[in-house]
Structure 1
């Protein structure tokens, strides 16, 4: 049995990133960030570094009642948030988007959202009030201002006509105007990464990086305005929030030197082949499938399960990422969760040695994901070169994987320049509370200006 275990470890070695490889990844990402920020290089840049037009972070003095709208999938949320001195009161409701609206016209989509907004305001007795709204829109967006965002392309099953290439804020404003019964001022549009940073910054003013490691992966950070050559907003403020859209890193082949046959197969079978290459090595949408493909190979080599797989093991998408977290939650020498997962997959004939091997493959895939994220965060920290930065983090992989946090902390500490300290902070509802805070900061600024 020792021999099979050794071969399994050799085969899994392709999922290990050496320190030399990680440093090369950081160097390539840094070059891509600079390209994304540059006027002459942005158009051809893979990592887009979109300008968010957010130049002020929460200072804890934001007060008042705000609406938030969180649209990022088949459901959306409407929230009402009351901000007081270091406390907030939040109520929300989830609304479904029927399939015919997801694939219908943009007008119908925004009319549906506006109707739900009006109903929500009635339910919470603010129908007659004029409220500011922060809009979280988790689709690829080019921002041209704090309240102007052009949809680049639909994802997540949406295909509403007449929206791509248009300003989604205007689409929502028009729908509200068509109703004529509620008064809502859309103060800001943002994505969920930005919201994560804003939500954490309200409590911790050192928070200058926002990170999502969930179904997808993305990061935003505070950059010096002078480095943002495309910025055409209010001059004189030193900082600007940048949405990197780093999931696309590697779309030009920059990560090919560390990609495996499993990564290529995941990409070939995806709906966006050749796109979001880094995300496909990191995020919850793909981690389970990477494990499954490795297990299939080892089974076909006769190294696992006595060479006998199961229909489910050979079925694409059957090994969920939550299984990775469950299997790695077992204590050393205990395979309770692993046994349950394998039984669900029709592999009840697995031996203890098989279970140890399955856990090893899970660990290799999740460690690589954590190290890739760490390389990205360390790259941002080194670029910012500030003595202490809090990193606001959200997403199901970071929240639920038992070792992701520890793996990241250890690796980032190795990769940052001497003298740079970082503090990870779990975000609380970035896409909801964060949206309201973006609106609150925008209102704070306009009242200061006024």
Structure 2
């Protein structure tokens, strides 16, 4: 346990402009020469909004699995219709099991949705095949829309073997033949789902169990090995959470951050994620309390994120004490309140600085002067954590000034909708 004062987390807030500028420089370098970050996708454009069709969609994240059948309605509504959907929490034991075991369970969930779809009274004829789009919230190497090789996963998953994602999914027997035509990651799906409704959206941002971002990158900013075969730009999966983004934040890491990183499954692998994402915010709070945390939260990751958020919503220590173990005195509760708020504020500030740096690097800030910069987002931290979205917006506004207005658009069911949108783009040749 490493006691850390709340003031140590607020240093980032006072240096946000410097951090944002440093992120822009960092991203420029990573886009050019990193093999693990700014991973190019086979996508060179955003959706037109005219794509139509009915698709099977899957979204596998760090915590949940979503499977759905989705209809793209196209013009003029640019809307989507979720016909069937199933959401399941990923059982903890699969995170330590083999990839085959995990995807066998995923296959069972897919069959549940397909069977429900067939039983739907609106389905008059069994489809001969279901075209499928997949959102996979972990690093992949992609050579085509339908081929993706798994890279080390993080987020509590321990299996390391590189495997072809489509092969794992298609090893299961389904009640309707399935063809995987599109694979992407969560941040790409977030951007595509928002851009289907808001043409010109600039980025897709994830802030939940983990964090990530996607944007269009000019081909001229990519090294020869990353150059697209066609098009003047390419959608890149930044994988900004991992170690290449350490330089802009390294001097702001506290003793609690260093202790958490050293005790993680892969020390040094994802320092930015450990300072931003929901999986780690609660652990930073726990560690920062030091010996004051008490026996109730002695075990790593035993402090629920919901507790931190609920305490942040309180203005009086007596109110906050209701969410904490009985017997905590005013001093201890007040300290917990201050640390919890400081940790989440730092997270929002760093998320905003990274977002700004990304948009500065790819030219979106300059292009948006005098107008709006639309940023698609998803994730439980931005959605549910007390005051987080407001802090993120305020930090972005501070960085962008008066010339550009940041407009945050939630990607409703972005993982599954984005997978369906990409499948529609592939079918209509608009990628």
Q: Residue 288 of structure 1 is aligned with which of 275, 282, 296?
A: 282
How many Å separate the matches in 2 of 1:319 and 1:109?
Answer: 26
Q: Matched residue of 1:189: which SS?
A: strand
CA contact (8 A) 1:83 1:89 kept: yes
Q: How does 1:138-149 map to 2 (within 5 A)?
A: 138-149=137-148
How far residue 334 of structure 1 moved from its aligned partner, in angstroms, is 6.7
Higher relative contact order (CA 8 A, sep 6+): 2
> Does structure 1 retain, via aligned residues, the 8 Å contact 2:63–2:209?
no
Once residues 67 and 252 of structure 2 are traced to their aligned partners in structure 1, the CA distance between those partners, rounded to angstroms, is 42
The worse-fitting range, judged by mean Cα deviation, of 421-430 and 72-81 is 72-81
The aligned runs of 1:356-395 (5 Å cut-off) are 356-383=334-361, 384=363, 385-387=366-368, 388-395=372-379
Q: Which is higher, the Rg of structure 1 or of structure 2?
A: 1
Judge conservation of contact 2:12–2:252 (CA < 8 Å) in 1: no
Give aligned pairs, total: 412
Query: What does 1:181-330 align with in structure 2 at a 5 Å threshold?
Result: 182-229=176-223, 230-235=225-230, 237-249=231-243, 255-296=249-290, 299=292, 310-330=294-314
Contact kept, 8 Å, 2:130 with 2:176, in 1: the verdict is no
Unaligned runs of at least 5 residues, structure 1: 1-7, 300-308
Aligned residue in 2 for 1:88:
80
Shift of 1:219: 1.0
Question: How big is each residue's C-alpha offset from its partner over 1:6-33, in whole Å with a ceiling of 9 and x where there is no partner?
Answer: xx9x932211125664334334322332
* Cα distance, 1:225 vs structure 2: 2.8
Cα pair 1:378 1:412 within 8 Å, conserved: yes
- Mapped partners of 1:367, 1:74: distance in 2: 23
Match of 1:302 in 2: none
Task: Determine the structure 2 residue equivalent to 1:166.
Answer: 163
Q: How does 1:321-360 map to 2 (within 5 A)?
A: 321-330=305-314, 332-333=315-316, 335-336=318-319, 338-342=320-324, 345-346=325-326, 348-351=327-330, 354-360=332-338
Query: CA–CA distance in 2 between the matches of 1:97 and 1:374?
Result: 29
Partner of 2:50: 61
- Report the 3-state secondary structure (helix = DSSP H, G, I; strand = E; otherwise coil) of the residue aligned with 1:280: helix
Matched residue of 2:389: which SS? Answer: helix
Q: How far is 1:421 from its partner?
A: 2.6
Q: Contact conserved, 1:26 with 1:376, CA < 8 A, in 2?
A: yes
Matching of residue 48 in structure 1 with residue 37 in structure 2 = yes
Using the alignment, how far apart are the partners of 1:98 and 1:210 within structure 2? 27
What is the CA–CA distance in structure 2 between the aligned matches of 1:380 and 1:98, rounded to whole Å?
Answer: 34
Q: How far apart in 2 are the matches of 1:35 and 1:100? A: 38
Distance 2:344 2:174 in 1: 50
Q: Does the CA contact (< 8 Å) of 1:382 and 1:416 recur in 2?
A: no
- Contact 1:150–1:165 (Cα < 8 Å) also in 2: yes
- Can you list the C-alpha shifts for 1:116-158, whole angstroms capped at 9, x where unaligned? 5455334312743323211111222122222221111244555
User: TM-score scaled by structure 2?
Assistant: 0.85
CA 1:205/1:113 → structure 2, altered by over 3 Å: closer, same or farther? same
Q: Pick one of 108, 117, 122 that aligns with 1:124.
A: 117
Distance 1:199 1:180 in 2: 27
12-21 or 272-281, which deviates more: 12-21
TM-score (norm 1): 0.82
Contact 1:25/1:255, CA 8 A, preserved across alignment: yes
For structure 2, the residue ranges without an aligned partner over 5 or more in a row are 119-124
Q: Is the 8 A contact 2:187 2:205 kept in 1?
A: yes
| Contact 1:53–1:240 (8 Å) recurs in 2 | yes
CA contact (8 A) 1:267 1:274 kept: yes
CA contact (8 A) 2:145 2:182 kept: yes
Residues 149-160 of structure 1: pairs in structure 2 closer than 5 A:
149-156=148-155, 158=157
Q: CA 1:414 to 1:113, structure 2 compared with 1: closer, same or farther past 3 Å?
A: closer
Q: Does the Cα contact within 8 Å between 2:150 and 2:163 map onto a contact in 1?
A: yes
Q: CA 1:50 to 1:322, structure 2 compared with 1: closer, same or farther past 3 Å?
A: same
